[in-house]
Structures are given as C-alpha cells and as structure tokens.
Structure 1
Amino acid sequence: MKKVWMPVTAPLIIMLVGCSMQGSSAAYRDIEIALGNARESARVDCPTQADCERLWRRTEKYVTQRSATPIRRSDDSKIETAEPHMFGAVYVWATRTTGGSGVSTIQIRGMCRGMYRADGAPGLLYRTCAEQIRAVETGFRAFIGASSRP
C-alpha cells in the first residue's frame, strides 16, 4: 500500500511546493515594487535655501521619531542613525543633495536589520520589515509639509 501512495503523493507534494514558491515569488515582486514606489515618494525638492532649512529640520524630527535608534551623526547633508542590535527594527537615514541647477533634494531611506539574508534573498523578517519601511517612507512628505510631487 505504501508504494501506491508514494507515486501518487510525491507529484502532488512537488506541485504544491512549486505553487507555493510561485506565490511567494509573486508576493516578493509585489512587495519590492511597493517599496520602490515608497522610496520614490520619500524625497522632496526644495528650490530655496530657506525652504530647505525648514524641511531639513522637519526631516531630522521625522528621523528621530521613526528610527529605532538615535541619531549618531548629523550635518547639513546627512542624518545617520545607528544600526539596531535587534532584528526587525527599522532605522532611518536622510540625505540632502544639491544638483547643478541649484535645487536641493531631501530623501529618507528606511532600513531594517534582518530584512535580507547575506545572499540578498528575503530574510525571515522580510514582510514585517517591508511593511514598516513602506509606512515610514510613504508618510515622510506629509509629515514635513511638502507639497505633492508633480
């Protein structure tokens, strides 16, 4: 009887594993697209120096409130927080750059320890980290009072 079940169940198990892997690949792709969109919305251009100073101060406050770790370095072009010791905790960095046209861009980036494995594949905390990062990055513009991007 065991021999009858083995040929019948083995293909079924392989098919289920394959479907599961396809589903997780599609979910991973969807999450990565959502993260890319969130990252794109986590930037703001400020054409005047006065606007940039105001937005940069708001950015520092946002980073402080949203990062699991304190700011370890801050100047006119970057705000860095320490990497957390625990996995699944989001930490946030910000940069301010000025292009050749004189327009400055402020951008934040959320990161999460344990999101990816050493080989770049999703880690055990991938989904949890992705949700937290997306929330931090999509909430940035509204918090600092920046207008919507055209």
Structure 2
Amino acid sequence: MRARSFCATLVLSALAGCSTDARWNRFSETEPALLQAREFAAVDCQGPDECSLLWTRTKAYVTRYSATHIRYADERAIETARPLEAGVVYLWATRTPSAEKRGWARISVKAMCRGMYAMDGGPGWLYTQCASEIQKVEIRFRGFVLAPERGAQDDAA
C-alpha cells in the first residue's frame, strides 16, 4: 500500500511539473504578443479638438469593452471598478500630455484581468484565457478610436 501511495505521489508530482512547464512555456510565448498589443493600444492626438474627440471615443470604448462600470473619469484618466470575479477583462485609460510636443497628447488603454498573474509574477491559472481576451481588446482600440464617426459605432467586436 505504501509503495502505491509513493508511486501515485510521484506521478502527480510529474504531472504537476509538466503542467507548470507548459504554463511557463505559453507565458514566455504570449508575453511578447501582449506587449505588442499594449503598444498598439495607444494613439497620439494634436490640439484640444482632436484630443477631446479621441478621448470621448476612448470613453465609449472603455464603456463598451470593460466588464465593470466606470468609477472615475476626468480629462486625464478613465478608471473602471475592479471586478469581484476572476477571468474578466476590465479597462483603464490615460491621456498624457507630451513633454516634447506642445499641444500633443498620448491616449492609451490598458486591459487587465484578475487571475492572470500569480503572486510571483508568472502565469496565473487564468493566464491563457485572460491573455487572449486582453489581446483582442487592446488590438481593436486604435481602429475603434480612429475610425470615421460611423465606423466607431459599427465595429464588429
């Protein structure tokens, strides 16, 4: 009986190790794509009219794609509430004036998902699901915000 328990423990340990290795492999393959999506989730604007228009569209995008409601919004930030459940995407946006170019600003959206990362900064149990959803949301941002008036409302997300 003792030998069986020992063998079962070894098999479970090996399976857990393989599972952990597979998660880390997916993590190392997916993180660069997420960084690229995050860079794509930004637009530059010039002047108060263009920046106001793009900021209004950004707020519409956050409202549409965040699983939680907006809890705070002003001319520099849009923050949604953190979800209670894990595995759902919520968004924040920032509008940062350019230090180099007078009258210019950068508008960025950041998608987040509870359960995506573990305490050690590695992949959490919901990493794959969250990463996929975050990538979709961040990659679509630029097209939504920069689309002609009608296109922004008709996006097929």
Query: Is TM more than 0.5 here?
Result: yes
**TM-score, normalised by the number of residues in structure 2:** 0.78
Q: What is the CA RMSD across the aligned residues, in angstroms?
A: 2.5
Could you give the per-residue CA deviations for residues 40-62 of structure 1, whole angstroms, max 9, x where no partner exists? 00000002221110000000000
Q: Which amino acid aligns with 1:76?
A: E
Match of 2:6 in 1: none
The yes-or-no answer on 1:88 pairing with 2:102 is no
Q: For structure 1, list consecutive stretches of 5 or more residues without a partner in the other structure.
A: 4-9
Q: Percent identity?
A: 47
SS of the counterpart of 2:92?
Answer: strand
In structure 2, C-alpha distance between the alignment counterparts of 1:115 and 1:126, rounded to whole Å: 4
- Count of residues in Structure 1 that have an aligned counterpart in Structure 2: 139
The yes-or-no answer on 1:144 pairing with 2:120 is no
Contact 2:109/2:138, CA 8 A, preserved across alignment: yes
The yes-or-no answer on 1:67 pairing with 2:66 is yes
Shift of 1:116: 1.1
Contact 1:44/1:146, CA 8 A, preserved across alignment: no
Could you give the per-residue CA deviations for residues 53-85 of structure 1, whole angstroms, max 9, x where no partner exists? 000000000000000100000000000000000
Shift of 1:18: 6.8
Contact 2:27/2:122, CA 8 A, preserved across alignment: no
